Structure 1
Amino acid sequence: MFYSVVVELKALETGVIPTYPGKKIHGLFFNVLEKANAETSKKLHQNFNNKAFTVSSFLGKKVDEPVSIMKNKRYYIRLTFLDEKIFNLFTITMFKNKIFKKEIYIENIKFSILRVIFDEEQSKWAGVLSIDELLSKKDYSNKIKLKFYTPTLFRVGDKHLRYPDAKKIYTGLLNKFNKYSEYKFNESIKEEFSNIKIINKRIRKKRVFINNFYLEGFVGDVEFEISRGNNELLKIVNILSEFSFYAGVGYKTTMGMGQVRREHKECIAI
Structure 2
Amino acid sequence: TNPQLPIPNYQSLIPPSTLCWWRISLLDEVLFGKLTGLWLNLNPDRAFHLGSADLYITRILGTPQSSQPWSNFATYQQIYDRASETERNITFHLATPTAFRQGKFDSPLPTRDNVFKSLCDRWNTYSEIPITSEIIEYIYPSRFDIKTEVVKNYDTHSFIGCVGEIGYRILGDASPEIIKQINALADFAMFAGIGRKTTMGMGMSRRVMGNG
Deviations 1:151-184 (A, max 9, x none): 0000123200111111121112112112222222
CA contact (8 A) 1:146 1:222 kept: yes
2:174 pairs with 1:259 = no
In the superposition, the TM-score normalised over structure 1's length comes to 0.68
Q: Which is richer in strand?
A: 1
Where structure 2 has 5 or more consecutive residues not aligned to the other structure, the ranges are none
> What is the alpha-carbon distance in structure 2 between the residues aligned to residue 255 and residue 90 of structure 1?
20
1:265 Cα deviation from its structure 2 partner: 2.5
Letter in 2 for 1:175: D
Q: What does residue 145 of structure 1 align with?
A: 91
Question: What residue is the counterpart of 2:8 in the other structure?
Answer: 64
Counterpart for residue 244 of structure 1:
189
Per the alignment, residue 84 of structure 1 pairs with: 29
- 1:115 equivalent to 2:59? Answer yes
**CA shift digits 1:99-140 (9 cap, x unpaired):** 5714131x5432121112112136321111133432233353
Structure 1 residue 142: Cα displacement = 1.4
Partner of 1:198: 141
Report if the CA contact (8 A) 1:58-1:77 is conserved.
no
CA distance in 2, matches of 1:147, 1:61: 10
Of residues 245-254 and 233-242 in structure 1, the stretch that sits farther from structure 2 once superposed is 233-242
Which residue number corresponds to residue 31 of structure 1? none
Percent identity reads 23
Assess if the C-alpha contact under 8 Å between 2:44 and 2:58 holds in 1. no
Please tell me the residue identity of whatever aligns with 2:146: I
Distance 2:71 2:141 in 1: 28
Asked if 2 retains the 8 angstrom alpha-carbon contact of 1:228 and 1:234, the reply is no
Report the TM-score, using the length of structure 2 for normalisation: 0.85
> Does structure 2 retain, via aligned residues, the 8 Å contact 1:226–1:233?
no
Q: Aligned pair 1:169/2:115, yes or no?
A: yes
| C-alpha RMSD over aligned residues | 2.5
Which structure is higher in helix share? 1
Q: Which runs of 5+ in 1 are unaligned?
A: 1-56
Partner of residue 233, structure 1:
178
Name 2:157's counterpart in structure 1. 213
CA distance 1:62–1:136, shift in 2 (3 Å)? closer
